[in-house]
Structure 1
Amino acid sequence: MRLLSWWARRALSAVLTLLVVSVLIFAAARLMPGGFAEVVLGPFASPQQRAAVAADYGLDQSIAVQYGRWSAAVLGGDLGSSMISGEPVTAEFLLRLPVTVELTLLGMVAAVLFGLPLGVHTALRAGGRGGWLGRLVSGFGVSVPEFVLGSLVVFVFSRYALGLTIGEYTPFGENPWDNLRTMLLPAAVLSVFAISVTARTTRDAVLNVLVEPYITAAVARGASPRSIVLRHVLRNAAPPVVVVLTTITAYLLGGAVIIEYLFNLPGVGSYVVQAVGRRDYAVVQAGVLLAAVVFVLLNMFADAVVGVLDPRLGVSSRRRRG
């Protein structure tokens, strides 16, 4: 019963969070300098022409009325239509979603395959040369902004023929090899920060576990280092790593906006960026709201996984929040 009550509170908190996000993004979109009518008609349009465009799209009504109509439509499953193309926003997102999902998945795979082993190795070699190199790699990845590294990669691979494609996109279903050649570089740039954060978090978690009494007891029993790492260290160090990986997933979805724009990928992120420049309110509002939904769901998923990995954390967390 206590668990059910805790999940009910989490669901209520998620709903309230999404409600606040929807209000903020709706107001922020309309407070941006230069409205939709100015962008569509240009700077030399007459006030009568601008008023006519605003009336056609319902922008002459109060923000409260516009928000009420939009929120009612969203609750009914309708994200609206693009004010530029007239196409349903849901259809446009579904068309571009595979690009963003593939880019995010490749970044997550890189974070798991490289970040986790690097973090464990750095922690186990904390006093040696391997630990120093691991900290250096993690620090470099965290400190270099994505747009700087991405711009450098675009310049180098555009200037020299190095076998990978820049500025073109081929769907995976049409040609898997050409698709990977297109997605490899943007995924690599996107994953640098994820690998660094995963490695650093894993290192700290493993170091905290290594000083626990049960590790000393396992060493005293004569257990092999491999057995201690696999049976005791990794499982007990997993909860903070899982939380960070779910947070990184949301970060990768947000970071895909910059990467898609730099590498000219037709994903959801680049579509929303273009919509901001065009003041296409329906697309901007839907994009931010969906990103918030994904972030909230990932946080709830992380809570569930951490509770399974270490029931003590789930119980203590529920008691604190209860």
Structure 2
Amino acid sequence: MIIYIFKRIVTFLFIICVLAQISFCLVYFTPYSMSNFHNLNFIDAYSAFFKQLLQGEFRLLTGETVLFFQTLLATFELCILALFVALLVGLPLGIFLGLSNINWLNNMIRLGSLLLYSCPIVMLVIVVMYCLSPTWTISMNFDISPSVTGTSLLEILASTKASKWQELFEQFHYLILPIILLAIQPSIMTIQLIGQNVKNTSRQNFIKMAIIRERSPFKILRRHLLPNSIPATIPQLTYNTTTLLFSTMVIEILFNRAGLGQWVMIAYHHHNYFIISIAILACGTVISLLTLLGEISAIAIYPLRHKEYYV
């Protein structure tokens, strides 16, 4: 298992290195990119780019500083919180859907899931905003500097302010509605995948034998059914990280929350191709990191899972 995790981490680092090379080429060879690398030769610009990348910030010709890690952290936190809520909601409903024999209730859950999943995230956010507060207008301020970043939860926890718990509560209060809206589609996908895997696993012969030997349905569920169905679902959920990241960026734009979404929108409005090229690296990093965490989580839950990749 350790060797498998090590290979996945090496693959993740290789993907990040390739994305960094592509991002540097876009920065260096694109005209009017507002970067300060055009005054240097290729070797010096290459060294300066990766030095600033490791420091987590880039300097523009205008003197502004683009905080790469802080912007990336704000979007990544929103994705992780949405995935946590999706698992919290989708796991019990998916197990219930896979084990339940109530046809009308199962059909109602599937119908509601299909209706919500087919609804565009932009229309859903606007409808929810309109219903909750008719006076709440969507503000999209394009005059914000690209260096502005959102306040992440880790930054608040790491601060030494006396009022950090109050700020943390206020940040959570602000993020409740974006997280709920962002978690709708991952929750529906979790319900469908877990329900299908639980239903297929429950029909296996070893589950039927466990039902004969075990008296407690809870032990059958905990010892046999869930360990053989849940790990197969986690890698399938990570395949949709691209959709999750796109939805996160849309949520950030609509709720006027600084992050990758606002970053790309402001850069596109000002034709700042340097920011767009760095955003490509940031998006690839988020997608690769979420996929890596999903694979490691599946192996941690069920270590024998990694043998399936070598069959």
TM-score tier after normalising by the smaller chain length: 0.7 to 0.9
Structure 2 unmatched runs, 5+? 141-149, 154-163
Relative contact order: is structure 1 or structure 2 higher (C-alpha 8 Å, sep ≥ 6)? 2
Contact 2:28 2:38 in 1 (8 A): no
Cα deviation code 1:120-176 (max 9, x no counterpart): 111112552221122112212321121121122233334158xxx976999874545
Distance 1:254 1:67 in 2: 31
Contact 1:18 1:293 in 2 (8 A): yes
Equivalent residue number for residue 97 of structure 2: 122
Among 194, 219, 226, the alignment partner of 2:186 is 194
Equivalent residue number for residue 298 of structure 1: 290
Count of aligned residue pairs for this structure pair: 291
Q: If the length of structure 1 is used for normalisation, what is the TM-score?
A: 0.73
Cα deviation code 1:61-88 (max 9, x no counterpart): 89x7797356543565454224555124
Contact 2:36 2:60 in 1 (8 A): no
Distance 1:27 1:156 in 2: 46
Q: 1:61 to 1:276 in 2, by over 3 A?
A: farther
Q: Which moved more, 1:274-283 or 1:241-250?
A: 241-250
Contact 2:75 2:259 in 1 (8 A): yes
- Structure 2 residue 114 is the aligned partner of structure 1 residue 149: no
Distance 1:124 1:158 in 2: 39
Q: 1:272 to 1:229 in 2, by over 3 A?
A: same
Distance 1:142 1:259 in 2: 16
- Structure 2 residue 176 is the aligned partner of structure 1 residue 184: yes
RMSD: 3.7
Q: 1:81 to 1:313 in 2, by over 3 A?
A: same
Equivalent residue number for residue 49 of structure 1: none
- Structure 2 residue 58 is the aligned partner of structure 1 residue 80: yes
Cα deviation code 1:162-205 (max 9, x no counterpart): xxx97699987454554344322222211111111111111111
Distance 2:116 2:29 in 1: 35
Distance 1:14 1:98 in 2: 18
Distance 1:137 1:82 in 2: 48
Q: 1:20 to 1:214 in 2, by over 3 A?
A: same
Equivalent residue number for residue 257 of structure 2: 265
Larger radius of gyration: 1
| Identity rate, percent | 23
Distance 2:45 2:203 in 1: 54
Structure 1 unmatched runs, 5+? 38-53
Contact 2:57 2:65 in 1 (8 A): no
Among 13, 17, 20, the alignment partner of 2:15 is 17
Q: 1:61 to 1:184 in 2, by over 3 A?
A: same
Equivalent residue number for residue 134 of structure 2: 159
